[in-house]
Amino acid sequence: MLENTAFMFDRSFMNDPISDILRLASAESVVSGGFTAGGDWAVRFPAPDRLKFFAAVRGELWLGLETEGTTATRVTAGDVLLLTAPERFTLGSDLSRTPIDAQAVFAEQSRPIVDAGGGDDVLMIGGHVRFDTAYAPMVTEALPPLIHIRGDTPDASPMRWIIDRMVDESTEDLPGGGLASAQLAHLLFIHVLRAHLAAGGAVRPGWLRLAVDPRLAPALRLMHTAPGKNWRLDQLAQASAMSRTIFAQRFRSAGGIAPLAYLAHWRMRLATRALRHGDATVASLARDLGYASESAFSHAFKRIVGVSPSHYAASQSYNGRVSHRR
């Protein structure tokens, strides 16, 4: 059975498609530290190669992105920022000032909270969210370039507790501090995502828009819970309380893909993860993902992924050996 194969998620508790995607992408949040500043200041940060988050513990400042035409964002205490765009940005009290380089600021000091100069009117703490490179685009492409959760909104209330604990873990030498910080950062990321969705924030067509659509989510959950089942369009439409035609149209509009095509792609994402980790054979994947034969599974895999399962598995094994030797 599919639920017994090692690559599947733990079904001992209720899951949801967003949790499934984040697990598939091996989402891992890390607190990288923070800084204090005061007076007139500006710090320029390099373009992040992963999702970057900042939480304003105290003070006021501005965020400026380098994209032409974007306006500066005012940040106040309690605000949380999630940057998904891979572009340089500046934080400061006055963005017209010549900024200092963030790498130089952090390289010169070994403490988790560094002094960026001028005092401590502002305290920022930050980190990043890493994903498996094969699945990172699923998350980053679903979100806008910048998410800004304001500290005075109801959804920010639980974040304030998390931020305070993150500061404690960063400034005090507590047992298990590294693990606690990582868990708190991950929880903060989830709350930022929830707050953005609850506020009706921008979501691009795809799996995330499907997951937050109350009419389509039940069908999506069925496909994620039992991807190996031979789902028919009428069964999925019935779960969403729609006719086949209306369901198919609404699903494609929100997800950018037809329902059964989404199911096929979800199966292949699970299959690639299993092959990357060496958790299953082609025969077991074919059986557990609902294909009548290895040949049928291999044909579907090559059509969607671009190579055969055996070639994909061999390439992942080779890449792993090269990485290990390095």
Alpha helices, DSSP H only, in 154-308?
Answer: 157-171, 177-198, 207-212, 217-225, 233-239, 244-255, 259-277, 282-288, 294-305
In a domain, 5, yes or no: no
**CA distance linking residue 167 with residue 175, whole number of Å:** 15
Give pTM, 2 decimals. Answer: 0.82
pLDDT at 252: 97
| Domains contained in the chain, number | 2
pLDDT of residue 203: 87
Whole-number Å distance between alpha carbons of 215 and 249 = 12
Give the model's pLDDT for residue 317: 61
Segments of the chain with pLDDT less than 70: 1-15, 68, 108-109, 317-326
pLDDT at 323: 41
Q: In the prediction, which pLDDT does 319 show? A: 53
- If one counts every other C-beta atom within 10 angstroms of the C-beta of residue 84, the result is 20
Backbone angles phi, psi at 151, to 5 degrees: -70, -15
Domain membership flag for residue 297: yes
Picking from 133, 165, 198, the residue at the C-terminal end of a domain is 198
The pLDDT score that the predictor gives to residue 315 is 83
Whichever domain contains 301, its CATH number is 1.10.10.60
Full domain range(s) for residue 158? 22-198
The verdict on 51 and 186 lying in the same domain is yes
Residues 234, 98 share a domain: no
State how far the Cα of 237 lies from the Cα of 233, in Å rounded to an integer: 6
Does any domain span residue 17? no
